[in-house]
C-alpha cells in the first residue's frame, strides 16, 4: 500500500509538472506569435494571441495547432487607390479564430486551414466614406450626409442635411438604409429616399444617400463575408482558407 501511495504521489507530481511545463510553453509560443504577427502585418500595437487545445506540447510534436485566436485593436485597413488617393479605414476590433494551423519546423511560417471572425467599424469612421462636403444634387439644391446611427432591425439610419435655394431645411431628414458586402466592399443603400422639399431624380438623391467603402488587405488574406448594423457601428463577418498567420 505504501508503494502504491508513493507511485500515485509521483504520478500526481509528474502530471502537475507536465501541465506547468505545457502552460509555460504555450505562453511563450503566444508571445512569440504575437510579436511575429505584429512585425509581418506592420501593426502599431501587439495583437492578442491565444492558442487553444490541450496539451499544447503534443500539438507542437504533430506540427499543427488545433486553433489559434488573434485579436487586433485599431487596425488600419487599406481602402484602395494610390498616391494621394490612397487611404485607410480604422477597424476598432478585428478578431479571428484560425483552425488547423500548420507551422514550419523553425516556426518562421504558419498557415491556417480555415478562419472565421468579426470586424467592427464605428459609424463615425464609416461616415468618412460618404461625401464629406455638400454636393449639388440639382440647381439650387445642395445636400450631404451628416450622420450615421443604428436604425434598428439591422438597418443604418442615414441623416441628411440640405439647403434649397440657399435656405437650409428646418430639420435634417433621415432614411433607413440596408448595408451589404460585395467582394471587398461594404455598400450602404437607402431603402427609401429622403424628402428634400423639391422633386428630384432618384439618381441625384442616391448620389448623396448611397455610398460604399472598399476594405482591402485584411491580415492573412481573410475576406469580408457578411455585414450588419449594430449599436455603435457595423459588424462584419470575415472568413478565409489557407490563411497566412505568420511568414
Instruction: State the pLDDT at residue 55.
Output: 87
The Cα–Cα gap between 39 and 43 comes to 7
Question: Over the stretch 32-71, which tens digit does the pLDDT of each residue have?
Answer: 888 888 888 888 899 999 998 888 888 888 888 899 999 9
The pLDDT-based confidence of 227 (bands split at 50, 70, 90) is: very high
By DSSP bridging, strand 211-214 and strand 223-229 are unpaired
Give the number of residues written for the chain. Answer: 247
Q: Which residues pair with 176 in a beta bridge?
A: 157
pTM of the model: 0.84
Cα 236 from Cα 244, distance rounded (Å) = 20
Q: What is the pLDDT, as a whole number, of residue 20?
A: 65
- Environment class of residue 166 by beta-carbon count within 10 Å: exposed (0-12), middle (13-18) or buried (19+)? exposed
Contacts of residue 179, defined as CB under 8 A and 6 or more positions apart, other chains included, come to 154, 155, 156, 186, 187, 188, 189, 227, 228, 229, 234
Q: How many CB atoms lie within 10 A of CB 1?
A: 5
Q: What is the mean pLDDT of residues 209-231?
A: 92
The answer to whether the peptide bond before residue 55 is cis (omega within 30 degrees of 0) is: yes
Which is higher by pLDDT, 156 or 5? 156
CA 74/CA 82 separation, integer angstroms: 22
Give pLDDT tens digits for 109-168.
889 999 999 999 999 999 988 866 667 777 888 888 999 999 999 999 999 988 887 777
- Percentage helix, strand, coil for the chain under 3-state DSSP, each rounded to 5: 25, 45, 25
What does the pLDDT read at residue 116? 96
Regarding predicted confidence, which is higher, 1 or 171?
Answer: 171
Asked whether the beta carbons of 225 and 117 are under 8 A apart, the reply is: no
Q: Is 166 left (phi over 0), alpha (psi -120 to 50) or beta?
A: left
Amino acid at each position: 500500500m505504501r508503494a502504491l501511495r508513493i507511485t500515485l504521489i509521483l504520478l500526481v507530481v509528474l502530471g502537475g509538472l507536465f501541465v506547468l511545463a505545457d502552460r509555460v510553453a504555450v505562453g511563450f509560443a503566444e508571445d512569440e506569435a504575437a510579436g511575429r504577427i505584429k512585425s509581418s502585418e506592420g501593426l502599431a500595437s501587439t495583437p492578442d494571441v491565444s492558442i487553444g487545445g490541450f496539451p499544447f506540447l503534443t500539438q507542437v510534436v504533430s506540427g499543427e495547432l488545433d486553433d489559434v485566436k488573434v485579436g487586433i485593436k485599431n487596425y488600419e485597413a487599406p481602402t484602395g487607390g494610390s498616391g494621394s488617393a490612397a487611404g485607410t479605414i480604422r477597424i476598432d476590433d478585428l478578431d479571428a479564430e484560425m483552425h488547423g494551423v500548420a507551422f514550419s519546423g523553425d516556426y518562421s511560417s504558419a498557415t491556417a486551414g480555415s478562419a472565421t471572425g468579426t470586424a467592427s467599424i464605428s459609424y463615425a469612421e464609416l461616415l468618412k466614406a460618404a461625401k464629406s462636403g455638400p454636393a449639388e444634387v440639382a440647381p439650387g439644391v445642395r445636400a450631404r450626409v451628416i450622420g450615421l446611427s443604428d436604425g434598428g432591425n439591422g438597418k443604418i439610419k442615414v441623416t441628411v442635411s440640405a439647403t434649397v435655394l440657399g435656405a437650409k431645411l428646418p430639420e435634417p431628414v433621415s432614411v433607413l438604409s440596408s448595408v451589404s458586402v460585395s467582394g471587398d466592399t461594404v455598400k450602404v443603400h437607402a431603402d427609401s429616399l429622403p424628402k428634400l422639399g423639391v422633386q428630384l431624380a432618384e439618381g441625384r438623391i442616391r448620389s448623396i444617400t448611397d455610398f460604399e467603402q472598399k476594405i482591402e488587405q485584411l491580415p492573412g488574406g481573410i475576406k469580408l463575408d457578411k455585414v450588419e448594423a449594430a449599436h455603435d457601428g457595423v459588424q462584419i463577418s470575415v472568413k478565409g482558407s489557407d490563411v497566412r498567420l505568420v511568414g
